[in-house]
Structure 1
Amino acid sequence: MTEPKKDVIRETDAEAVRLAKTLIRSARFGALAAIEPGTGAPLASRVGVATDIDGAPLILISMLSAHTGALLADPRCSLLLGEPGKGDPLAHPRISLACRALRLERGTADQIRAERRYLNRNPKAKLYAGLGDFSFFRLEPERASLNGGFGKAFLLDRGDFIAGAAFVEEFAGGEQAALDHMNADHRDALALYARHFGRAEGGDWIATGFDPDGMDLAAPDATCRIFFPRPLQSARELRSALVEMAKAGRAAEQDR
């Protein structure tokens, strides 16, 4: 008598959701797989990545590339995120997002916000972002497959890692001003956040994005995802959350 097949998918818990959000928010690049027109064959390419305020991936791609034509013909795609570290690359966490690609029309509020956030994360892309043959796409996730390492497989729904639409408009209005203020006047606090909450080395950190769950920091060759102690219920809570975290970080370092 054969034994019943073991279900290798674990129940999604808070730790899995946090890991998924970290992988998505921390990504600087990913492997995009689209469907090749005419053949139906998978077509994979590396793309630069940022995220919208709600966590949806943003990409900037040339209209001359094969994968752009594939997305315009069939928006179904998959995005693999997660950087391998030392040792076996399969031992490191990664997430595969099943998405539909949406081209953002130049000059719309969604495109302007996407461009701002993408260039905050990928400043070197300013060299070609304004060229006529480049377009921003928002990848609308439908579900995700998370592999947290050997024996740690999860299936996630969109709602597990994408924030509600209401937060996007509220945060978008004041986000860049808050980023500019922190980067101009509080680089010491950003280094503290990275060091204490992100366990990250170095001190040359800038803030590239705020969202209801936390903040994204970047250094010349690294990124760092920092979560707030609790999710923000409105953009007005951002300042108090940053102050609270700075106080907690300084107190912890003084006690060492």
Structure 2
Amino acid sequence: MALDEEARAALARSREAAPWEARRLIRAASEAALATRAGDQPYASLVTPATAPDLSPLLWLSALSPHTRHLAEEPRCALLITGPAPSPNPQTRPRVTLTGIAARVPEAERAALKARWLARHPYAALYADLPDFSLWRMEITEAQFVGGFAMAHRLAASALRPDPDAVQRIAEAEAEIVAHVNQDHPDACAAIACGLLGGAGEGWRLVAVDVDGCDFARGEEVRRLAFEAPVGDADGVRRALILAARAGREALGR
């Protein structure tokens, strides 16, 4: 069926925005469906991902779970992440399927990436140190992003990944940014979390920063702020947080 000019323009806009929209969806995910394989038998399970600074999905998996044993034998896997549906039709739900290779995180990287995973899932601190758990990282090889009905786009890993130099600059500055914001600007955290992200109550803290956004937490509740566009350095983070805090205060009538 031929597309009219308006439909072709909409498809072109969707294709151009697909890598960024997919990244926002991946960064914001608190749950996903993991597909593994046991011999010739496919297997799907619920997992709770976070992302490394370079966007690689992180999974905290128990050795008692079938999917962990599957990955140890066959590291090829897929991860389905979905967003909220804007209509009663589930096909309008934005979603991204990631295919790739999973591997246990080396000991040298484990502490930093475990802290990042726990920043997204603070409730898991109760069991994160049990000996049967280990941290896995998925290297993305390809993605299929669906922005809604008839808006499907296949993405190479290279199109999806953030700029590595920006990733390194933000990772090196993250601890200083988090400490400064929490110590000197707790009011900004509250304005962003409550004014923009639907949070409530006091005690919100900045817990993680990456090139695409940052995470705020209060107890076991976590809210994700997605930047309007990827940032390249600490100054970019600062500008994004200033704009977000200003918008949050305006939303709260302050």
Same fold (TM over 0.5): yes
Q: Quote the Cα distance in structure 2 between the aligned partners of 1:62 and 1:190.
A: 34
> In the TM superposition, what is the alpha-carbon distance from 1:62 to its structure 2 partner?
0.9
| Alignment check: 8 A CA contact 1:212 1:235 kept | no
- The unaligned stretches of length 5 or more in structure 1 are 5-9
- The unaligned stretches of length 5 or more in structure 2 are 3-10
Q: Quote the Cα distance in structure 2 between the aligned partners of 1:160 and 1:33.
A: 23
Check if 1:63 corresponds to 2:67. no
What amino acid is the match of 2:31? F
| 2:100 matched residue in structure 1 | 99
Q: Quote the Cα distance in structure 2 between the aligned partners of 1:232 and 1:84.
A: 25
| 2:5 matched residue in structure 1 | none
> In the TM superposition, what is the alpha-carbon distance from 1:34 to its structure 2 partner?
0.8
Structure having the larger proportion of residues in helix: 2
Q: Quote the Cα distance in structure 1 between the aligned partners of 2:167 and 2:83.
A: 27
Q: CA RMSD for the aligned pairs?
A: 3.0
| 2:139 matched residue in structure 1 | 140
Q: Quote the Cα distance in structure 2 between the aligned partners of 1:76 and 1:61.
A: 16
> In the TM superposition, what is the alpha-carbon distance from 1:28 to its structure 2 partner?
0.4
| 1:24 matched residue in structure 2 | 26
The alignment's TM-score, normalised by the length of structure 2, stands at 0.80
Classify 1:177/1:124 alpha carbon distance in 2 versus 1 (closer, same or farther; 3 Å).
Answer: farther
Check if 1:210 corresponds to 2:212. no
| 2:130 matched residue in structure 1 | 131
> In the TM superposition, what is the alpha-carbon distance from 1:185 to its structure 2 partner?
4.0
What amino acid is the match of 2:58? L
> In the TM superposition, what is the alpha-carbon distance from 1:244 to its structure 2 partner?
4.8
| Alignment check: 8 A CA contact 1:170 1:235 kept | yes
The alignment's TM-score, normalised by the length of structure 1, stands at 0.80
Q: Quote the Cα distance in structure 2 between the aligned partners of 1:124 and 1:136.
A: 16
1:102-121 correspondence to structure 2 within 5 Å:
102-106=103-107, 108=108, 110-121=109-120
Q: Quote the Cα distance in structure 2 between the aligned partners of 1:159 and 1:215.
A: 22
| 1:79 matched residue in structure 2 | 79
> In the TM superposition, what is the alpha-carbon distance from 1:163 to its structure 2 partner?
1.6
> In the TM superposition, what is the alpha-carbon distance from 1:20 to its structure 2 partner?
0.7
Partner SS, residue 176 of structure 1: helix
1:126-205 correspondence to structure 2 within 5 Å:
126-194=125-193, 199-204=196-201, 205=204
| 2:17 matched residue in structure 1 | 15
What amino acid is the match of 1:90? Q
The C-alpha deviation readout for 1:184-209, integer Å capped at 9, x for no partner, is: 4434323433566xx53234554332
Work out the number of aligned pairs and report it.
Answer: 242
The C-alpha deviation readout for 1:128-180, integer Å capped at 9, x for no partner, is: 22222111111111111111221111111212322233344433333134224
What amino acid is the match of 1:18? W
Q: Quote the Cα distance in structure 1 between the aligned partners of 2:194 and 2:150.
A: 30
What amino acid is the match of 2:42? P
| Alignment check: 8 A CA contact 2:24 2:212 kept | no
| Alignment check: 8 A CA contact 2:206 2:214 kept | yes
Q: Quote the Cα distance in structure 2 between the aligned partners of 1:13 and 1:191.
A: 35
Of 41-50 and 182-191, deviating more is: 182-191
Q: Quote the Cα distance in structure 1 between the aligned partners of 2:91 and 2:160.
A: 23
Q: Quote the Cα distance in structure 1 between the aligned partners of 2:237 and 2:17.
A: 23
| Alignment check: 8 A CA contact 2:104 2:134 kept | yes
| Alignment check: 8 A CA contact 1:105 1:111 kept | yes
Partner SS, residue 46 of structure 2: strand
What amino acid is the match of 1:201? G
